[in-house]
A = this chain, B = another copy of it.
Amino acid sequence: MGLREVNAARTRELILDAALELFVDRGYDATTMEHVAEHAGIGTSTLYRYFPSKDQLVIEPLALQGHLSAALLARPEEEPLDVALGHAVISLIEAPRADQQRLAKIDAAVASSDALQVRLNEMFVHVRRELAEAIGARLGRPGTDPYCIATAGLTTLVLELAADPENDATIVLDAEAVVTRARALFRSLADEPPTSPRLPE
Contacts and interface: CB of A to CB of B under 8 A. Distances in A.
Contact of A158 (B93, B151, B171, B196): B196
A190 interface: yes
B147 A175 contact: no
A197 B146 contact: no
Interface of A: 81-83, 85-90, 93-94, 96, 100, 118, 121-122, 125, 144, 146-147, 149-151, 153-155, 157-158, 160-161, 166-176, 178-179, 181-200
A82 B195 contact: yes
Contacts of A88: 197
Given A146-B161, A195-B94, A83 B172 contact: no
Contacts of A87: 192, 200
A191 to B, nearest CB: 8
B96 A195 contact: no
A85 B178 CA distance: 16
B200 A175 contact: no
A100 B198 CA distance: 13
A178 B150 CA distance: 8
Given A89-B189, A146-B172, A147-B188, 8 more contacts: A82-B196, A83-B200, A85-B189, A118-B125, A147-B171, A149-B157, A158-B185, A178-B196
B188 A175 contact: no
Contacts of A155: 185, 196-197
B186 A151 contact: no
Contacts of A183: 189-190, 192-194
Nearest to A187: B190
11 contacts: A85-B195, A88-B197, A89-B189, A96-B199, A146-B161, A146-B170, A150-B189, A154-B185, A173-B199, A182-B189, A189-B190
A194 B171 CA distance: 17
A167 B146 contact: yes
